[in-house]
Amino acid sequence: MSYYIGNEHDTFPYSAVVYIEAIFSNGLTYTGSGTVVGENDVLTASHVVYNSQAGGLAEEITVYPARDGSDSPFGGYEYDIVNYYEVDQDGDGLIFRSESEYDIALLGFETAFGNDTGWFELDPNCGSGTYNLTGYPGLYADESGVRMIEDFGYATHVVDATVFDVSSLETNPGNSGAPLWTMKGTEASLVGVLSTEVWAAAISGHYSEILGWIEDNDRIQEDAPPGLMSGFDDPGDLKTMNGFRIQGSTFGDVVKNQHSDVKWYKFWDGASKTYYTHDDLQTSGNWISAESLSEIELPNEINNFYVRSWGPNSGLHEWMDFTVSMGSMNSTVGLMDGGIHENKTLSYAQVIDAENLVPQAYLRIYNQEQGEYLDASGDGWIKADELQDHMFASGIARKTIKIWVDTYLAGNGRSGWEDMVINVLEQGLTQAQQQVAVEPSSDVNWSHGLNDTSEQNTKLNLLGCDMPTELSAGMYLVQP
């Protein structure tokens, strides 16, 4: 018989049971239950967050750990990423046993609230036995709101179908996604996720996959983009274009990804210090779908954004930044963080993609390791076709080389500084094999991407308002 948890709702393990609200594109709100299974991970039923008849994946998903009536002792959290299976694709509201096996979804959050609530351990080894089922059935809500309810009874493990038969336990709408669990000493052991009034998906059926999803979620814990710390993905993962674009240019024009499986992008606006979203296009939390990039115009005169991407196979890619200013023509340079091997000599043309620069564009380049500008004897500006004439040495392994690039276009001025980080690798190693640690700056000026308190910021502004003294086609520009 079901009973009300009451005053114990905010103590472990009940503190790790969550109430879920999911708002779909058709305006409907569905509710369910879930379980904290890591620092920033909540496991629930897929059909709580995905409904083919309501528009697919919910547009907003918020979880409330230990919710009880109007009391949300740990607050509410909007999800940032989700992994799930699509169940009940015909939208008839019926989920058969074969679908219940896959009725799981894992929500990821940037806030590690699991450190406050505690979390359940995944248990893929439990069989038939007596278990608890804890959640938020609407039947037991009162005037204060939903209440945490628990039942206790026998569940049969159907081995060949990787589900539990929970027909002996009381289940009601709102219980979907609830944990089927037991205590093992001081550890709360999660064995299943409630799918229907009869079936619960067994953890054993997707244990390795859920662990992989949790690992992906671990990489999104942060309060804001890392600023001066760049990622360590293999070269070619994510490429950003910097410089000038004409009005009407889109995010798809300046962000390129070499992984065909990428489905989501997240953008942090360095000027407003907020995540950029678009109400009229497909979004998921703070993520924007890959299909929408070519529909979203760059919103500012000077667009200073940080971007990362995610794909189900390639995983979560690290942050990269770009600056694109509105101009009279498209003229961009591509920067792509990557890796080079030790004791190599390269031209700047090998690490900076100037293919899209127009002849009227000039570059200013600063090598932070060497502490000097290219063409330091002149005004610091060079033409794109001169990149191949300037060389730099990679030096010893297990370090990073930071290079700053600024673009000038006649009639438009400067686009702004952008940085690229190159990891120097040991011979025979890839970036994935060599993890190079770079500490982020502790005081980041988001509008410029520089540390205001550093000596480097002074160096980069030595030529602050200068422009190229000589332009192409024999024109001459008088410096201000």
Pair 119, 194 in one domain: yes
What does the pLDDT look like over 361-416, one tens digit per residue?
888 888 888 888 887 667 778 887 788 888 888 888 777 788 888 888 777 778 77
Pair 213, 246 in one domain: no
For the chain, how far is it from start to end, CA to CA, in angstroms? 82
Determine contact, residues 61/285, Cβ cutoff 8 Å. yes
Distance, in Å, from the CA atom of 84 to the CA atom of 92, rounded to the nearest integer, reads: 19
Distance, in Å, from the CA atom of 404 to the CA atom of 420, rounded to the nearest integer, reads: 6
Pair 176, 32 in one domain: yes
Distance, in Å, from the CA atom of 281 to the CA atom of 294, rounded to the nearest integer, reads: 11
Distance, in Å, from the CA atom of 252 to the CA atom of 266, rounded to the nearest integer, reads: 13
Pair 269, 167 in one domain: no
Pair 208, 244 in one domain: no
In this structure, the number of other CB atoms found within 10 A of the CB of residue 184 comes to: 11
Distance, in Å, from the CA atom of 378 to the CA atom of 270, rounded to the nearest integer, reads: 32
Full 3-state SS string of the chain:
CCEECHHHHHCCCHHHEEEEEEECCCCCEEEEEEEEEECCEEEECHHHHEEHHHCEECCEEEEEECCECCECCCCCEECCEEEECCCCCCCCCCCCHHHHCCCCEEEECCCCCHHHHCCCEECCCCCCEEEEEEECCHHHCECCECCCEEEEEEEEEEHHHCEEECCCCCCCCCCCCCEEEEEECCEEEEEEEECCCCEEEEHHHCHHHHHHHHHHHHCCCCCCCCCCCCCCCCCCCEEEEEEEECCCCEHHHHEEECCCCCCEEEEEECCCCEEECCCCCCEECCEEEHHHHHHCECCCCEEEEEEEEEECCCEECCCEEEEEEECCCCEEEEECCEEEECCCEEEHHHCEECCCCCCCEEEEEEECCCCEECCCCCCCEEEHHHHHHCEEECCCCCEEEEEEEEEEECCCEECCCEEEEEEEECCCCCCCCCCCCCCCCCCCECCCCECCCCHHHHHHCCCCCCCCCECHHHCECCCC
Inside any domain, residue 226? no
Average pLDDT over residues 120-127: 93
% of the chain surpassing 90 pLDDT: 35
Distance, in Å, from the CA atom of 409 to the CA atom of 461, rounded to the nearest integer, reads: 18
Distance, in Å, from the CA atom of 28 to the CA atom of 155, rounded to the nearest integer, reads: 33
Inside any domain, residue 228? no
What does the pLDDT look like over 281-310, one tens digit per residue?
655 567 888 888 888 899 888 888 888 888
CA distances from 360 to 356, 373, 382, 384, 406 (A): 12, 20, 11, 10, 14
From the centroid of its chain, how far is CA 265?
7
Looking at residue 74, what is its pLDDT? 95
Of 163, 176, 204, give the one whose Cα is nearest residue 34.
176
Average model confidence (pLDDT) across the chain: 79
Residue whose pair of structure tokens reads 């980069």 in the numeric block: 460
- Would you state the structure tokens that stand for residue 342, as one six-digit string? 């030790």
Distance, in Å, from the CA atom of 222 to the CA atom of 219, rounded to the nearest integer, reads: 8
Distance, in Å, from the CA atom of 135 to the CA atom of 112, rounded to the nearest integer, reads: 22
Residue span of the structural domain in which 111 resides: 3-218
Pair 310, 213 in one domain: no
Pair 263, 388 in one domain: yes
What does the pLDDT look like over 426-473, one tens digit per residue?
766 544 444 433 332 222 222 222 222 233 333 333 333 344 443 332
Of 203, 285, 284, 220, give the one whose Cα is nearest residue 37.
203
Distance, in Å, from the CA atom of 301 to the CA atom of 209, rounded to the nearest integer, reads: 43
Asked which of 29-33, 120-124, 371-375, 418-422 is least confident by mean pLDDT, the reply is 418-422
pLDDT at 474 over 70: no
Q: Which amino acid is at 190?
A: L
Looking at residue 349, what is its pLDDT? 83
Pair 151, 280 in one domain: no
Of 171, 163, 175, give the one whose Cα is nearest residue 199.
163
Distance, in Å, from the CA atom of 233 to the CA atom of 474, rounded to the nearest integer, reads: 43
Pair 389, 287 in one domain: yes
What does the pLDDT look like over 161-220, one tens digit per residue?
799 999 999 999 999 999 999 999 889 999 999 999 999 999 999 998 899 888 777 766
Looking at residue 339, what is its pLDDT? 65
Pair 311, 375 in one domain: yes
Looking at residue 283, what is its pLDDT? 57
CATH number at residue 37: 2.40.10.120
463: left (phi over 0), alpha (psi -120 to 50) or beta: alpha
Inside any domain, residue 43? yes
What does the pLDDT look like over 333-363, one tens digit per residue?
877 555 677 788 888 888 888 877 877 788 8
What does the pLDDT look like over 209-220, one tens digit per residue?
899 888 777 766
Pair 200, 261 in one domain: no
Inside any domain, residue 32? yes
Pair 87, 180 in one domain: yes
- Would you state the structure tokens that stand for residue 91, as one six-digit string? 């939208």
% of the chain surpassing 70 pLDDT: 81
- Rounded to whole angstroms, the maximal C-alpha distance in the chain is 89
Last residue of a domain, one of 187, 218, 249: 218
Inside any domain, residue 172? yes
Inside any domain, residue 358? yes
Determine contact, residues 164/178, Cβ cutoff 8 Å. no
Of 102, 139, 103, 121, give the one whose Cα is nearest residue 41.
121
Inside any domain, residue 155? yes
Who contacts 361 (Cβ-Cβ below 8 Å, separation ≥6)?
A: 243, 244, 331, 333, 384, 407, 408, 409
Tally of domains in the chain: 2
Determine contact, residues 325/348, Cβ cutoff 8 Å. no
What does the pLDDT look like over 29-48, one tens digit per residue?
999 999 999 999 999 999 99
Inside any domain, residue 99? yes
